Amino acid sequence: MSVASSLLRSSSVVGALLGSALLPEPALANGFFAGVQGTRAAGRAGAFVAKADDLSAAHINPAGLSRQRGTRIFVSNRFAYSDERYKRAATLDWSDLNNQSPAYVEFAEVSNARPWQLLDPMLGVSTDFGLKNWTFALSAHAPAGNARQEFPIDGGQRYMLVSRDVQILYYNLSAAWQHEDVFGVGATFQWVDVPKLAFELVIDGNTLPRQVSPVSSALDMRAQIEGADHVNFSAVVGAWWRPFCWLEFAASSQILPVHIDTQSTISVEPVFDTVTDPIVLTRGVEGEANDVTMQMTLPVSARVAARYIGHRADGSEAFDVELNLGWEAWSMVDSFVMNGNGLVGKLGGQQIDVGLIELEKNWKDSFSVRLGSDIAVVPERLTLRLGAFYESAVVDPAYAFVDFFAGHQYGGSLGASVFMGDFELSLAYAYMRQAELHVRESESAVHQQVPGSQCVAPYTDPDNCDAHYLGRPAAVANAGRYRAQYHAASLSLGYQF
């Protein structure tokens, strides 16, 4: 059995354990991610890079594993409710004239019809194998977030997104080493499995010149893209340093980006039953085909931390306060690209090039501040924790999109751990809110996808481009108001041999 097939097999087992059918999307915070995976980390609003004292250290700061002695088993799950809403800005529909004036069209607010994320697990085991300075861990987790979105097919968002289902699993193999209680380093090798990456949006199948339909087109097509990419790799490295018993510094970094490149299929169906002919997808001499690729990137990141530790007289930790500063390189995400490599849809006698659908993102790096604390209220029995955070926006308002609400985010959290012999039961609740994002039509840069449009860059040819949209490839699709708030509860159980 090859190494690869072994990995695949083991991944299937772990995936089954995790319930891969319900796994969420990607685990930093902003961008694709919403919240923090790991109950202790969640209770501290993610300020956990230095503390890093449970198995979530594997993906937050693997160096923290070095202080987890013995053998430990850890199981947790995160329950989340994502309240994501979008209200498209009123627009002028120049395809609907009355006395030469366009219709003023307002849109109802839409919200994600699948806000509940009931399975968002992490499990694993760590052991020092009796070694004094080493700890090893094997874990798997689905990064915190909202895997699924579903919006109405006739909603104002439909030219951006109708539904999304992104499932990502991280399988982590970690090793950590420490020098006494002063210094530690660690690394996690990650196998990133994307069992499902599905997007659905409405594209305008119009091929006629000078026709823009900002509200609804008779040739609206429902484009569904679904695929998987099982083999990707990444790595996390980290370190901690405790120069004084009361002060600790730490740093960690996701050092390898994940370039997801799914082998996918696409289907295109008319939205309205006025189009009765089937749409046949073909490519060159191959004839009928529907295979496409879909590319996304999960970025690198880095965090630094400082932790103050208060001690009791017996030397045990009474409380701590940790400050994390984070950077996430979301600027690596320029766009989501679906490439059909010349795929053409044929509808009746009309030919629609569906070869390239590019959802522009142009995200920018984000910076975060996280503050968290543990308080051992009853030593070795009960610990309470709390935290708060702020993270800068990933998305420029011009590129705001409903698939990932990525504006300025802030939130707070509470948590507790109860220790019963060798068992630990932890709970956490986190609330996160996105600052409302407002995008005017004039500033927006996301447009309807009209793959068969004859209006090409620089979009100023009056023979092919609608006079009211000169300079734009099509009508604006993302103007409006974006609101999001998230509630998440985590529950974990740990056992130490």
Positions in the binding site for other proteins (CB under 8 A): 87, 89-92, 98-104, 106, 436, 438-442, 468, 476, 479-481
- Find the shortest distance in angstroms from Cβ 469 to other proteins: 9
- Find the shortest distance in angstroms from Cβ 215 to other proteins: 13
- Find the shortest distance in angstroms from Cβ 455 to other proteins: 17
Closest to other proteins by CB, 101 vs 341, is: 101
Count of residues in the chain: 497
Closest to other proteins by CB, 200 vs 441, is: 441
Closest to other proteins by CB, 468 vs 487, is: 468
Closest to other proteins by CB, 444 vs 490, is: 444
- Find the shortest distance in angstroms from Cβ 444 to other proteins: 9
- Find the shortest distance in angstroms from Cβ 481 to other proteins: 6
Closest to other proteins by CB, 17 vs 97, is: 97
Closest to other proteins by CB, 69 vs 481, is: 481
- Find the shortest distance in angstroms from Cβ 93 to other proteins: 11
- Find the shortest distance in angstroms from Cβ 292 to other proteins: 32
Closest to other proteins by CB, 269 vs 436, is: 436
- Find the shortest distance in angstroms from Cβ 87 to other proteins: 7
Closest to other proteins by CB, 87 vs 361, is: 87
Q: Which residues pair with 327 in a beta bridge?
A: 302, 367
Closest to other proteins by CB, 32 vs 401, is: 401
- Find the shortest distance in angstroms from Cβ 438 to other proteins: 5
* HEC string for the chain: CCHHHHHHHHHHHHHHHHCHHHCCCCCCCCCCCCCCCCHHHHHCCCCCCCCCCCCCHHHHCHHHHHHCCCEEEEEEEEEEEEEEEEEECCEEEEEEEECCEEEEECCCCEECCCCEECCCEEEEEEECCCCCCEEEEEEEECCCCCCEEECCCCCCCCCCCCEEEEEEEEEEEEEEEEECCCEEEEEEEEEEEEEEEEEEEEEECCCCCCCCCCCCCCCEEEEEEEEEEEEEEEEEEEEEEEEECCEEEEEEEECCCEEEEEEEEEEEEECCCCCCCCEEEEEHHHEECCEEEEEEEECCEEEEEEEEEEECCCCCEEEEEEEEEEEECHHHCCEEEEECCCCEEEECCEEEECCEEEEECCCCCEEEEEEEEEEEEECCCEEEEEEEEEECCCCCHHHCCCCCCCCCEEEEEEEEEEEECCEEEEEEEEEEEEEEEEECHHHCCCECCCCCCCCCCCCCCCCCCCHHHCCCCCCECCCEEEEEEEEEEEEEEEEEC
